[in-house]
Structure 1
Amino acid sequence: MEADFSLLNDDFEDVFHTPHQIQLRTPFRLLDLPPELWLRICEFAVTKPTAIRVGKEPNPEDQMAVVRQPAITRASRLLRVEALPMFYALNTFEMLHCFGVPCPRKWITAIGTTNRQRMKAMLMISSCDLGFWEGSYRRASMDVSVEFPGSEPSPVPLFTGFNMFKVSFN
């Protein structure tokens, strides 16, 4: 079965026959794409397949690389305004708090109230108890609720003696 190329536009063939130097001069306009297609591309660019674990790296520079906002959000202000809300709303975030790694509350403070609210919630793995975290967030003037994901404290299998909490940002 042969393809019927007669249905294509006349300029379709120009893409293959235009000299390379001319193609390089005409920039590709990402935001000229139809909105549905642009949103799918943006979603793909900012969504990570696994949870982003804040606080897992002992070296602050390595941790910054883990939690850095996607490159597309740093390309222009317009892309940042459109893509950053998707980054916080579509990804899963986990926070690891233990000795030897920087406290991830600094990151939560740094992303700001609007982005925290977009996240809605995150899982937190810590050896500290529920009361410690409730007081800690209250002292930082953050409107959150801290609770166990189930009905009782649930130790995380990989980290003996640690509890898992769900932090919901209001």
Structure 2
Amino acid sequence: MNESILLLEERNEFDKAFEAYQKLYSNQNLDFELWKHFFFFLWICIEDSPLEFQERIDISKELKEKFVEGKKNFSELAEFNFIAGYTVSIFPYEFGDYDDLENEGSKMILKATEIEPENIIYRMVYLGDLPNLDRKKYEEAVVSAKPIVLEKFNGIGFFNKYFRQVLARKV
């Protein structure tokens, strides 16, 4: 992944980061690492970027397009299902019909755990997403996943920062 774009994210330079992502995205064959960071950047912008920026780039349209591209090209990857499922389950209304997409997000998280059953991060998120939460199993997964989360998401940029904060409760 292009570290200079991640540095732009760190500095909240939304316009420059978006332009850099667009340029890189249009000049390459579809690459999962690029897709996931661009998709996640757009998702984070829903809450963190200025409204003027969101309206100018039509963030809703961009996010939905990247979601559809991701499903078309990466639906068999566990990490795609985790990222897309997680983001859709948090803000289903950003992707379309609330009920349908909330359900789809949960199914994607389940699919990630089925593809990689040994992945404790996916399992933790799946357990936390269940309607009848088993608190004990979930807390055990949180404890087991924390060091792995801190290692996996140790880089810069919105993607790593967000998952470090949310999954390991670290700033």
Q: TM-score, normalised by structure 2?
A: 0.34
Q: TM-score, normalised by structure 1?
A: 0.34
| Structure of greater Rg | 1
Structure (1 or 2) with the greater strand fraction = 1
